[in-house]
Amino acid sequence: MQETRRHTSRRDLLLQQMGISQWQLVRPEALKGAINIAVPESVRLVIVSHQNLLQQPIIQDLLRGLTLDSTQVLNITFKQLAYLQVNHTVNYWLLHKNADEIHRTLSGLQQPLNVWQSVDLAAFKHDPQAKRQLWRQIQQSAPIK
């Protein structure tokens, strides 16, 4: 933040006379979405990706296979993950084209029951091996509570 020095309006002059400094954020985007995200008890799966995937047919198919509905799933971005507040065990599915980004994310997961990893959705849709690999991870993991 940096102190603003322009005092043009009446409000600005009054604040200056009262000795109140005004501040302007240098990077206001840093606070965008900086609210903690409380995860409801009903959520069983947290999908972490760069876009909202819940309306994608392939994701709907996967949720049916896991016997989950969209009310039991939270889709967030990698940046939002830092603001997540989880008080119960959940499953995580991390989708990213960069495996290093996924590995950096692992330490920030709260209350993980299972953690599944795959490439981003664009690649996942067209890669049968990636789909098999995800199903293998799911089959080898603890049952979804």
Query: Tens digits of per-residue pLDDT, 71-111?
Result: 999 999 998 998 899 999 999 999 998 878 888 888 889 99
pTM over 0.85: no
Do 24 and 46 fall within a single domain?
no
Can you give the pLDDT at residue 27?
A: 63
Do 116 and 46 fall within a single domain?
yes
Do 126 and 58 fall within a single domain?
yes
- Check whether 33 has a pLDDT greater than 80: no
Looking at the structure of the chain, the number of domains it has is 2
Could you give the 3-state DSSP secondary structure of residue 76?
A: strand
Binning pLDDT at 50, 70 and 90, where does residue 30 land? low
Can you give the pLDDT at residue 74?
A: 96
Binning pLDDT at 50, 70 and 90, where does residue 12 land? confident
Do 16 and 60 fall within a single domain?
no
Can you give the pLDDT at residue 32?
A: 63
Q: Which residues contact 16 (CB under 8 A, 6 or more apart)?
A: 7
pLDDT tens readout for residues 35-82: 788 999 999 999 999 989 999 999 999 999 999 998 999 999 998 998
Can you give the pLDDT at residue 7?
A: 44
Quote the domain boundaries for residue 13. Answer: 2-31
What DSSP designation does 142 have? Answer: P
Per DSSP, the residues of 107-135 read TT--SEEEEEEE--HHHHHT-HHHHHHHH
* Residue with tokens 């990893």, as numbered in its chain: 117
State how far the Cα of 1 lies from the Cα of 30, in Å rounded to an integer.
11
